[in-house]
Chain A
Amino acid sequence: MDMRFSPEELAFRDEVREFIASNYPQELKGGARRSRGEMSKEDILRWHRILYKKGWIVPHWPVEYGGTGWTITQRYIWNEENARAETSPLLPFGLSMVGPVIYTFGNEEQKKRFLPGILSGDDWWCQGYSEPGSGSDLASLRTKAVRAKNEKDGDHYIVNGGKTWTTLAQFADWMFCLVRTDPNAKAQEGISFLLIDMKTPGITVRPIITMDGAHEVNEVFLEDVKVPAENLIGEENKGWTYAKFLLGNERSGIAGVARSKKAIERLKNIANAELIDGAPLMKTDEFSRKVAELEIDLSALEVTELRTLAAESKGRGPGPEASILKIKGTEIQQRITELAVEAVGNYAMVQAPRMEATGNEFVPGPDYSTGTAQDYFNMRKTSIYGGSNEIQHNIIAKMVLGL
């Protein structure tokens, strides 16, 4: 057993570090700290486009579709370095979700048509999975697609229903959507995977404002939306297979170890700057113990993730063990933001202005206190989305423990 990086891997790390240092836009520095709900479309895409030019936009894809051919360890290093530099995270919808579904299950035409736009960032994708009332019980979805054929419209589906929690749909060009094509089949068996052009008539996007004040998610209403049959991925009624494949991808990387490390570093900086009776908060027993516990939990998670990665590089998993990463990773992320609120004291009460603010708003307190409470409120979502943490417990109970 060996947990250290090889000299080649260290050299790779230096190359990556240097590339990020000289190419990440100065104006976006600290971008990882801003909620996507308060960034512009162009800001979110800037780092994407730079990486696309460099050829590093999809290290996790097969080389034939644009991947870099990096080992799993190199990919890990890549993620670490991005977190270290606090680059703004790339959107997963095209790169990690629908892209792999298309190159794995799509036909040649679909690959040719959709993959280039995903890589370049010219097409913005959103995810049409959740529905009002479905929550973690994804298979209960009711959005209906009826296949029809006529001379004027050709072979197509008519889609009716609605999706919710659709992240950044307000910017999307395309939506990958789970629809029910066989209402009589069992819950998971009558579902298909459709790609829908967001400009199609009958689609309405309505914002959902979250409690931190951000506009990150939306409701999407679909009313008699006509979708060409060639936008069906794979086979009709087999969509659940593709959806599960996609969810597997979603869960990897959800641990967020490297970013949590950075966040703890920032938390310590705050706690060193905040004084209690003239001495740093970080020097108090209570606070330093909480930070230490957090760091220890995070190192355990880091090695657990490395073990999962190692197993994956030998062709196993990520199995239900990925649920550990989701549960522990999100708990740690939430605790960090919770401690940040504790650390900043009275200034946690200040409401930070939103992106659409004029810039002339008065924001009191030290810079590091701005938005700490909103981050804390926003991070409550992580134990709810992507299959709630309760569902992840069920998965481990059933799949690992056999209960």
Chain B
Amino acid sequence: MDFSFTEEQTLLRNTVQSLLADKYDFDTRRKVTKTADGWRPEMWAQFAELGLLAAPFSEELGGLGGGAIENMIVMEEFGRHLVVEPYVETVVIAGGFLREGGTAAQQEALIPGIVGGETVWAFAYAEPQGRYNLADLTTTAKKDGSGYTINGYKAVVLGAPWAQKLIVTARTSGGQRDRDGVSVFIVDKSAAGVSTRDYPTVDGRRASEITFENVKVGADALIGAEGKGLPLVEKITDEAIAALSAEAIGCMKELNTATVEYCKTRKQFGVPIGKFQVLQHRMVDMFMAHEQSVSMTYMVNLKLGESDVERTKAAAGAKVQIGKAGRFVGQQAVQLHGGMGMTDELNVGHYFKRLTMIDTQFGNVDHQLKRYSEAA
């Protein structure tokens, strides 16, 4: 049993920490999210330069030889600074699809763009009627010569306004919710027939609704085997869940630290409010919620390579834990900060909003509870 980090991993954490301490203070972040673009491409270039975008890829794929734990380290620090840049979408998800399902040619052609920071990706999987069911697809891809023609509509594609490339799930056969018949494609956002409508999300990021109208892709756009994509999609979304869990523990950590500090200094009725036992116990519960979430985050990141059932239970379990804990910690942090916690000016509300959205991404507590109980 060993939960310690290697020297390289500690170094990675230090690198991220010092970069973000230097360039990602809350006020700057707040200003950036209110600009038209909503993110900083130059920050992305910095991530690439420091090797963050290469961290989880093996050396054969041009990376630094890490994996899920490296993603976890980066994402926890990103959570602490509310980083909006699309690391999950590009490195974890697109990188994951290419690593797990990509051909040697696809990997060779596309991973360098991720590692080097030249290409940003988004994951177009959700549809309005599908909620969190990854197989519920009305988007279709029909065989067309050697390639495919894609038609359909994707909802709330996070990071898409910033992306050049999309991972798109579509049905190549079967009924609307069949497990068989799901395929995964690489689509250029600039391809003819792709149209996007962009908008801001409540946590200060950007998303798009995307319509595919007779979009032609070649045979080389397919990731994995035709019609057999769902297990791959499930695996990669679990990797994304593992990364989001890490982001969530970063958010919770900051909220707990800020709340304890605040309650030590904020005086009411002549004493620091932290002296009130009811608030002390509340903060102890927040502390425990965070520790339990850290445990589940480590667990899921360590179990991503296990059998499908094991991995599913780990991911669903972690998502339930961070969904509940994130809600509890977020709500209590706002409550204990009083009116200040309600303001846009203070970072507390922003962490709370991000935690709320992390619960929504890839299925909320109810969805994941159901998934957990069905997996066994």
Q: What chain A residues lie within 8 Å of B341 (beta carbons)?
A: 380, 384
Interface locus among A87-95, A134-142, A242-250: A134-142
Residues 328-376 (chain B) with a chain A CB within 8 angstroms: 331, 334-335, 338-339, 341-345, 349-350, 352-353, 356-357, 360-361, 364-366, 369-370
The reply to whether the CB of B5 lies closer than 8 angstroms to some CB of chain A is no
Is the CB–CB distance between A385 and B339 below 8 Å? yes
How many Å lie between the Cα of A261 and that of B112 in the bound state?
A: 56
Q: What chain B residues lie within 8 Å of A10 (beta carbons)?
A: none
Q: What chain A residues lie within 8 Å of B276 (beta carbons)?
A: 390
Is the CB–CB distance between B352 and A364 below 8 Å? no
Q: What chain B residues lie within 8 Å of A135 (beta carbons)?
A: 266, 268, 338-339
Per-residue B-contact encoding for A358-397, CB less than 8 Å = 1, 0 else? 0001111110000001101100110111001110010000
Residues 318-342 (chain A) with a chain B CB within 8 angstroms: 338, 341-342
The residue among B156, B177, B202 with the most chain A CB atoms within 10 A of its own CB is B202
Q: What chain A residues lie within 8 Å of B339 (beta carbons)?
A: 130, 135, 164-165, 217, 381, 384-385
How many Å lie between the Cα of A31 and that of B206 in the bound state?
A: 28
The reply to whether the CB of A277 lies closer than 8 angstroms to some CB of chain B is yes
Chain B residue at minimum C-beta to C-beta distance from A380:
B334
How many Å lie between the Cα of A284 and that of B370 in the bound state?
A: 11
Q: What chain B residues lie within 8 Å of A349 (beta carbons)?
A: 156, 158, 201-203, 207, 357, 360-361
The reply to whether the CB of A213 lies closer than 8 angstroms to some CB of chain B is yes
Is the CB–CB distance between B133 and A276 below 8 Å? yes
Q: Separation in Å of the B113 CB from the closest CB of chain A? A: 27
Q: What chain A residues lie within 8 Å of B155 (beta carbons)?
A: 346-347, 364-365
Task: Name the one of B202, B278, B370 contacting A351, with C-beta atoms under 8 angstroms.
Answer: B202
The count of A-to-B residue pairs whose CB atoms sit within 8 angstroms is 139
The reply to whether the CB of A309 lies closer than 8 angstroms to some CB of chain B is no
The reply to whether the CB of A278 lies closer than 8 angstroms to some CB of chain B is yes
Chain A residue at minimum C-beta to C-beta distance from B348:
A211
Is the CB–CB distance between A277 and B201 below 8 Å? no
Task: Name the one of A277, A284, A384 contacting B342, with C-beta atoms under 8 angstroms.
Answer: A384
Task: Name the one of B267, B268, B345 contacting A209, with C-beta atoms under 8 angstroms.
Answer: B345
The reply to whether the CB of B128 lies closer than 8 angstroms to some CB of chain A is yes
How many Å lie between the Cα of A202 and that of B152 in the bound state?
A: 60
How many Å lie between the Cα of A347 and that of B130 in the bound state?
A: 12
Chain B residue at minimum C-beta to C-beta distance from A371:
B202
Chain B contact surface mostly: mixed
How many chain B residues sit at the interface, stated as a range, is 35 or more
Q: What chain B residues lie within 8 Å of A287 (beta carbons)?
A: 366
Task: Name the one of A209, A345, A348, A390 contacting B279, with C-beta atoms under 8 angstroms.
Answer: A390
The reply to whether the CB of A350 lies closer than 8 angstroms to some CB of chain B is yes
Known A137-B269, A341-B360; judge A362-B198 contact (CB<8 A): yes
The reply to whether the CB of B114 lies closer than 8 angstroms to some CB of chain A is no
The reply to whether the CB of B307 lies closer than 8 angstroms to some CB of chain A is no
Is the CB–CB distance between A277 and B136 below 8 Å? yes
Residues 266-290 (chain A) with a chain B CB within 8 angstroms: 274-278, 281, 284, 286-287
Is the CB–CB distance between A342 and B200 below 8 Å? no
How many Å lie between the Cα of A113 and that of B269 in the bound state?
A: 37
Is the CB–CB distance between B360 and A137 below 8 Å? no
How many Å lie between the Cα of A346 and that of B176 in the bound state?
A: 19
The reply to whether the CB of B85 lies closer than 8 angstroms to some CB of chain A is no
Q: Separation in Å of the A365 CB from the closest CB of chain B? A: 7
The reply to whether the CB of B35 lies closer than 8 angstroms to some CB of chain A is no
Q: What chain B residues lie within 8 Å of A208 (beta carbons)?
A: 343, 345
Q: List 5 A-B contacts (CB under 8 A).
A: A281-B131, A284-B366, A350-B202, A362-B209, A365-B128
- Other CB < 8 Å A-B pairs besides A136-B338, A374-B202, 9 of them? A134-B268, A140-B269, A210-B349, A211-B350, A348-B356, A365-B155, A380-B334, A380-B341, A384-B335
Task: Give the B-binding residues of A (Cβ under 8 A).
Answer: 130, 133-137, 140, 164-165, 208-211, 213, 217, 274-278, 281, 284, 286-287, 338, 341-342, 345-351, 361-366, 373-374, 376-377, 380-381, 383-385, 388-390, 393
Task: Give the A-binding residues of B (Cβ under 8 A).
Answer: 126, 128-129, 131-133, 136, 155-156, 158, 176-177, 197-203, 207, 209, 266-269, 276, 278-279, 327, 331, 334-335, 338-339, 341-345, 349-350, 352-353, 356-357, 360-361, 364-366, 369-370
